[in-house]
């Protein structure tokens, strides 16, 4: 097949499209485009003068991007860690390659497989160009929004590019799965890195191979790229030399103004927490107070996004006296604050303050994610010291058994933890961008590349979205705390084994006899439902295991008035998770009322409401306080 044949094929593939100029009419103007032509809405020829001007502006903005990147390097403030992460990826994928190179016959088979796929695709494309109706060799998943534009299917060139990408991705994933003698952790890491590379190299991420981007760029004479480069420069500047992709319109939200607005007061403060007591909204309240222990990996207002979605506001409206910990966003001064510090200066300090303002010696508690892990550790310590101030515990998507720890476990092995510890030793904390980046990498197409395309190639600012604003409001990790968590939980799984020691005590969750409500979510990649189920079996008292629909956030923040998702209840969480699932009952809508019934049944007595600041502890300031407003 010579060059002449290739040109004829390209002409046939692009016939009538805006890639080729349409025929001119008798007045020399571009004639009408046929209705079936791709890019029909584009002008036949862009304004080259405007395009040239915009390319000049693009270069100017690119210079600003470079300057923003170089500024922290010149000041000696550049963040470390990226080189280590890239080296780890190369090393892991190199191990996969070694397994294949050691067997020449397998290499030949692998090459034959991808060659066969591409021959099938080429044959299918030729038939399509000949006018035949053919089924695609491979199709994206229905939920894959990258290829939603109609021309990914209707235009043979873009359809070929799309299918070639999907075939290559499937082949690369297969290379990982079929590599012999890989240990499970290395295979998990290889899967993860292949997913990152595949996400980055998607043809949807490039102007030249994305039909929607081509249309917009031609129609706007490149103005979209200029706007995008300007935003890129701003985001690199905001990230201190690293790209911090904006996922929401940050100017649309202000904590305490239109987000985190449930009325209350900060009644206690120390080095690592502010304790918020929320104002009552009912004529009577349950006598037993509720303490919420949120994760410090994120900020607490995920449970108080707005009036419609706020779990905290809903609890108040049901007659609960709600207290919530707001963790400090730590800096170098908190380097030595470890898990024991967070227990004593966090949960224990909150319990003491609650007893002062309510007179109650016992509380109900909620722990969310790593806040739940801390709560579990605290309960085991309290059981060892016969401390009975916590009467019941609710866990939201919490792991206490890390044997099936989810996708974040790919970041945890001795070598990687040691590298993280070296980074933390320099400043006394792990920078917030590291954690937020890790979470975004769990869903790269949704949380990274979709925004990169929208922001920097389409030149569109993201729309206001409270959940994504919260997601980007990152927090730092104190060095001692984070090291303890990674080693004792993810790496060695000591808590579930009864081997963890804290405050001079060996912790045994079997000694925790209080009632537990353990909520998992079905699509959770951080705390998988199976992992939470196994964790339920480590407690010594009655456990109600409930599984909600959706994922780590949406499954928890699911108010009853939305009537979204569902939840499952079943027998005692024993045996295999798969067997338990067969015995469950599905319920439509939110699990919140079900949980409230469980909580109220334990201590139904009601009293007059407590007003924040009117007890022994005066109000220090209005909720949501000051700690939550500290930026990383």
HSE (side-chain half, CA atoms, 13 Å) at 369: 19
- Cα-Cα-Cα-Cα dihedral sign, residues 152, 157, 160, 162: negative
Report the candidate in 264, 322, 310 with the shortest Cα–Cα distance to residue 625. Answer: 264
Query: How do residues 435-448 score in pLDDT, each as one tens digit?
Result: 888 888 888 999 89
| Closest residue by Cα to residue 298 from 557, 595, 622 | 557
Tell me, yes or no, whether 173 and 81 share the same domain. Answer: yes
Can you give the pLDDT at residue 5?
37
Average pLDDT over residues 69-77: 75
How many percent of the chain have pLDDT more than 70?
Answer: 91
For 353, residues 6+ apart whose C-beta sits below 8 A from its C-beta are: 267, 268, 275, 323, 617
pLDDT digits (tens, 9 = 90+) for 118-176: 999 999 999 999 889 999 999 999 989 999 999 999 999 999 999 999 999 999 999 99
Same domain flag for 303 and 177: no
| Most confident of the following: 74-78, 449-453, 592-596 | 592-596
Instruction: Tell me if residue 315 is catalytic.
Output: no
Residues 278 and 291 sit within 8 Å (Cβ to Cβ): no
Q: Would you say residue 33 has pLDDT above 60?
A: no
Tokens of 260: 């985190």
Coil vs helix vs strand at 618: coil
pLDDT in tens, 335-354: 999 999 999 999 999 999 99
Q: Return the ∠ at Cα 357 (arms to 356 and 359), rounded to 5°.
A: 65
Q: Please, are residues 436 and 212 in contact by the beta-carbon 8 Å criterion? A: no
> From the candidates 315, 324, 369, 489, which is the catalytic residue?
369
Range 282-290 average pLDDT? 98
Q: Does residue 250 sit within a domain?
A: no
- CA–CA separation, 488 vs 500, rounded Å? 7
Asked whether residue 578 carries a pLDDT value surpassing 50, the answer given is yes
Please list, in sequence order, all residues whose beta carbon lies within 8 angstroms of the beta carbon of residue 204, skipping any fewer than 6 positions away: 146, 147, 210, 449, 453
Checking if the pLDDT of 53 tops 70, the result is: yes
pLDDT at 83 over 80: no
For the cut 90, the answer to whether the pLDDT of residue 267 exceeds it is yes
Cβ contacts of 422 within 8 Å, gap of 6 or more: none
172, 204, 239 - which closes a domain: 239
Q: Judge whether residue 596 has pLDDT over 60.
A: yes
Read off the pLDDT of each residue in 497-519 and give the average, rounded to a whole number: 97
CATH number for the domain that contains residue 541: 3.40.50.1820
Q: Same domain for 291 and 202?
A: no
Please report, rounded to a whole number, the percentage of residues in the chain having pLDDT higher than 90. Answer: 71
- Averaged pLDDT, 319-328: 98
> Can you read off the two tokens belonging to residue 413?
């092995």
State the Cα–Cα distance between residues 252 and 243, nearest whole angstrom.
21
Q: Detail the DSSP E strand segments found in 358-416.
A: 363-368, 390-396
Give me the pLDDT at residue 25, please: 37
Query: What integer pLDDT is reported at residue 537 of this predicted model?
Result: 97
- SS3 of 298, please? coil
Q: Which of 198, 222, 239 is the last residue of a domain?
A: 239
- Nearest Cα residue to 527 out of 413, 411, 373: 373
Q: Is residue 40 part of a domain?
A: no
pTM exceeds cut of 0.75: yes
Whether 202 and 327 share a structural domain:
no
User: In angstroms, rounded to a whole number, what is the distance separating the alpha carbons of residues 582 and 579?
Assistant: 5
Question: How many whole angstroms separate alpha carbon 297 and alpha carbon 398?
Answer: 13
Q: Which tokens belong to 147?
A: 């290829």
Strands 585-588 and 566-569: antiparallel
Let me know whether 230 and 268 are in one domain.
no
Are 176 and 272 contained in the same domain?
no
Is 396 among the domain residues? yes
| Pairwise CA distance, residues 593 & 443, whole Å | 31
Q: Say how many C-beta atoms besides its own lie within 10 A of residue 383's C-beta.
A: 22
| Cβ count near 6 (within 10 Å) | 10
Could you tell me the pLDDT band of residue 79, with boundaries at 50, 70 and 90? low
Is residue 212 located within the same domain as residue 270? no
Helix intervals (H) in 208-293 = 211-219, 223-238
Select from 183, 204, 239 the last residue of a domain: 239
What does the angle CA 541 – CA 341 – CA 360 come to, to the nearest 5 degrees? 55
Mean pLDDT of the 15-25 span? 36
Strands 516-521 and 505-506: unpaired
Domain annotation covers residue 159: yes
Residue 624, preceding bond cis, omega within 30 degrees?
A: yes
Average pLDDT rounded to a whole number, residues 22-38: 38
**Is residue 474 included in any domain, yes or no?**
no
Same domain? For 157 and 212 the reply is yes
Q: Give how many domains the chain has, as a whole number.
A: 2
Q: In this model, does residue 39 exceed pLDDT 50? A: no
- Both 172 and 283 in one domain: the answer is no
Q: What is the mean pLDDT of the chain?
A: 89
E strands of 424-558, at which residues?
A: 429-430, 477-478, 501-502, 505-506, 516-521, 543-548
Cα separation, 190 vs 517, in Å, equals 36
CA 9 from centre of chain: 44
Residue 4 or 294, more confident: 294
- The rounded distance, in Å, linking the Cα atoms of 419 and 555 is 33
* Residues facing residue 571 across a β-bridge: none
| Same domain membership, residue 231 and residue 92 | yes
> Which band of pLDDT confidence, cut at 50, 70 and 90, is reported for residue 100?
confident
In a domain, 445, yes or no: no
283 assigned to some structural domain? yes
Residue 3 has pLDDT above 60, yes or no: no
Half-sphere exposure of 368 (CA within 13 A, CB side): 24
Q: Give residue 251's pLDDT band: very low, low, confident or very high (50, 70, 90).
A: confident
Checking if the pLDDT of 31 tops 70, the result is: no
> What are 386-400's pLDDT values in tens digits?
999 999 999 999 999
29: DSSP letter: S
pLDDT at 399: 97
State which residues form the domain around 103. Answer: 48-239
581: Cβ contacts below 8 Å, ≥ 6 apart: 568, 570
Residues 584 and 506 in one domain: yes
Average pLDDT estimate for 592-606? 97
Whether 95 shows a pLDDT value over 90: the answer reads: no
Overall residue count recorded for the chain in this entry: 632
Q: Are residues 213 and 312 in the same domain?
A: no
- Please check whether residue 16 lies inside any domain of the structure: no
């Amino acid at each position: 097949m010579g060059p002449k044949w290739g040109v004829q094929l390209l002409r046939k593939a692009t016939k009538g499209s805006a890639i080729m100029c349409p025929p001119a009419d008798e007045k020399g103007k571009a004639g009408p485009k046929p209705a079936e032509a791709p890019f029909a809405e584009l002008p036949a020829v862009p304004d080259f003068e405007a395009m040239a001007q915009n390319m000049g502006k693009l270069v100017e903005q690119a210079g600003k991007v470079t300057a923003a990147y170089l500024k922290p390097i010149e000041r000696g403030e550049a963040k470390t860690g990226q080189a280590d992460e890239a080296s780890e990826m190369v090393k892991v994928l190199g191990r996969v390659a070694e397994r294949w190179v050691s067997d020449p016959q397998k290499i030949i088979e692998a090459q034959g497989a991808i060659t066969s796929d591409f021959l099938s695709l080429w044959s299918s494309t030729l038939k399509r160009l000949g006018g035949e109706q053919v089924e695609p060799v491979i199709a994206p998943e229905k939920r894959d929004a990258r290829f939603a534009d109609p021309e990914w299917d209707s235009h043979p060139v873009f359809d070929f590019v799309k299918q070639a990408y999907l075939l290559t991705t499937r082949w690369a994933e297969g290379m990982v799965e079929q590599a012999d003698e890989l240990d499970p952790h290395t295979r998990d890491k290889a899967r993860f890195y292949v997913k990152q590379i595949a996400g980055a190299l998607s043809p949807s991420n490039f102007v030249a191979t994305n039909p929607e981007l081509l249309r917009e760029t031609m129609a706007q004479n490149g103005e979209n790229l200029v706007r995008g480069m300007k935003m890129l420069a701003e985001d690199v500047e905001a990230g201190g030399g690293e790209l911090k992709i904006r996922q929401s319109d940050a100017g649309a939200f202000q904590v305490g103004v239109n987000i985190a607005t449930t009325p209350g007061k900060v009644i206690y403060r120390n080095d690592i927490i502010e304790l918020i007591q929320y104002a009552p909204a009912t004529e009577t309240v349950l006598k037993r107070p509720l303490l919420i222990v949120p994760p410090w990996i994120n900020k607490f207002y995920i449970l108080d996004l707005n009036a419609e979605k706020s779990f905290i506001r809903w609890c108040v409206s049901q007659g609960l006296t709600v207290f919530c910990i707001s963790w400090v966003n730590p800096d170098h001064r908190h380097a030595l604050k470890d898990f024991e510090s967070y227990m004593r200066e966090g949960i224990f300090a909150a319990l003491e303050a609650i007893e002062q303002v309510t007179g109650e010696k016992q509380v109900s508690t909620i722990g969310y994610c790593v806040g739940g892990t801390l709560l579990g550790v605290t309960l085991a310590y309290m059981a060892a010291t016969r401390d009975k101030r916590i009467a019941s515990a609710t866990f939201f998507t919490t792991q206490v058994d890390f044997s099936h720890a989810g996708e974040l476990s790919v970041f945890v092995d001795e070598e990687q933890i040691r590298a993280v510890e070296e980074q933390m030793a320099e400043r006394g904390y792990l920078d917030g961008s590291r954690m937020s980046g890790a979470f975004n990498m769990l869903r790269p197409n949704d949380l990274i590349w979709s925004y990169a395309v929208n922001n920097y190639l389409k030149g569109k600012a993201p729309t206001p979205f409270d959940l994504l604003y919260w997601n980007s409001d990152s927090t730092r990790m104190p060095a001692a705390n984070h090291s303890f968590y990674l080693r004792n939980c993810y790496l060695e799984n000591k808590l579930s084994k009864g081997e963890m020691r804290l405050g001079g005590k060996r912790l045994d969750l079997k000694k925790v006899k209080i009632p537990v409500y353990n909520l998992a979510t079905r699509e959770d990649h951080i705390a998988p439902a199976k992992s939470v189920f196994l964790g339920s079996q480590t407690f010594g008292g009655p456990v109600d295991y409930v599984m909600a629909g959706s994922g780590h956030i949406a499954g928890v923040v699911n108010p009853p008035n939305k009537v979204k998702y569902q939840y499952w209840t079943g027998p005692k969480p024993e045996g295999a998770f798969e067997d338990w699932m067969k015995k469950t009952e599905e319920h439509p809508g939110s699990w919140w009322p079900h949980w409230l019934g469980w909580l109220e049944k334990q201590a139904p007595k009601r009293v007059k409401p407590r007003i924040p600041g009117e007890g022994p502890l005066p109000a220090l300031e209005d909720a949501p306080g000051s700690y939550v407003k500290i930026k990383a």
